[in-house]
Amino acid sequence: MTDYASELRAGIAAVRQAARLCQTVQRSITADALEKKDKSPVTIADFGSQAIICKAIGEAFPDDPIVGEEDSAELKEPGNEAFLTRIVAELTAVGLSGSPEDACRWIDRGGWNGEGMPGERFWTLDPIDGTKGFLRGQQYAISLAMIENGQIAAAIVGCPNLPLEATARGASADDSIIARGAGSLFVAARGAGAFVLPIDGDSAFDPASATSVQVSTVADFAAARLCESVESGHSSHSHSAQIAAELGIVHEPARLDSQAKYAVVARGEADIYLRLPTRPGYREKIWDHAGGVLVTEEAGGTVTDITGKPLDFTHGRELTENRGVVVTNGPLHERVLAAVRNAGIE
């Protein structure tokens, strides 16, 4: 990983710091807040995470644009002063001191919103992927990827509630994949493999001693495990069930939020992840996939859209040339694509 050692070093440190902020905010969520559908904790964590990562990447690589999910316009609206004050307080608590203006400037470092590619080299960030999982106290991810000449070159995907140790294949999905754990950080660079580290601490990344991750070798659908989004609004569950039946998948699907689904396929806890279109014209956002795609591919898996085309990250903020996403361990991929076609998904 010598070619991207500095990018990974900066990205790992930033995602770890952002994870500390997100973990603190998530622990503050109360049952009363959930009952009232109070989304303020995830708003605070989302903006705080983006501020941390964009500041770090901006300082380390000042010429690199960052395509992030958020900008500070909402925080500057009348009545939102309390949000900004809390964000600044949470940033200070993890060692990043600054004024409200500083926080907004850091957030907006990731606000590139132009047409087409921002340049030959840029970063894309989802500061909290899986907002509903975050609010439920379940899975969410902090996903950062660097794209160079249209290819994902480096990726850091933090999963603060995904156990560091992969579970046995026979374990219940509800008791393992969806459980909260010590936290995992998945790291990959193109052509150099994928690895998992603890998300806490500040240990340096050394690929020679890090734990590598590999997809499963499952080739029989009777033994395969499928994972999909918790929310049916993110992926068509009815089509997933139809596809699973055609393929002879007997295990109940594991449903979890965020790019943690890529992670569990990458390390062989699941074999298939389907992100099937829910409405005509919808296109996936690049930050929802870039980090997870590289981690899975470097672990030996295969990622395409539902037609079998590679995901194309050269068209700005959206995957405009793709429709849906199919992720597998590789041996199952062509048969999964055939089942998707047979389901009549367009």
Q: Are strands 194-198 and 184-189 parallel, antiparallel or unpaired?
A: antiparallel
Tell me the chain's radius of gyration from C-alpha atoms. 19
DSSP state for residue 277 in the 8-state scheme = -
**Tokens 């990043």 -> residue:** 96
Asked if residue 26 lies in contact with residue 17, where contact means CB atoms within 8 angstroms, the answer is no
Q: What is the DSSP string of 53-85?
A: HHHHHHHH-TT--EEES--TTGGGSTT-HHHHH
Residue 216, both tokens: 């499963």
**Tokens 């240990």 -> residue:** 203
Q: Are strands 272-275 and 226-228 parallel, antiparallel or unpaired?
A: parallel
**Tokens 């995901």 -> residue:** 311
Catalytic residues: 46, 131
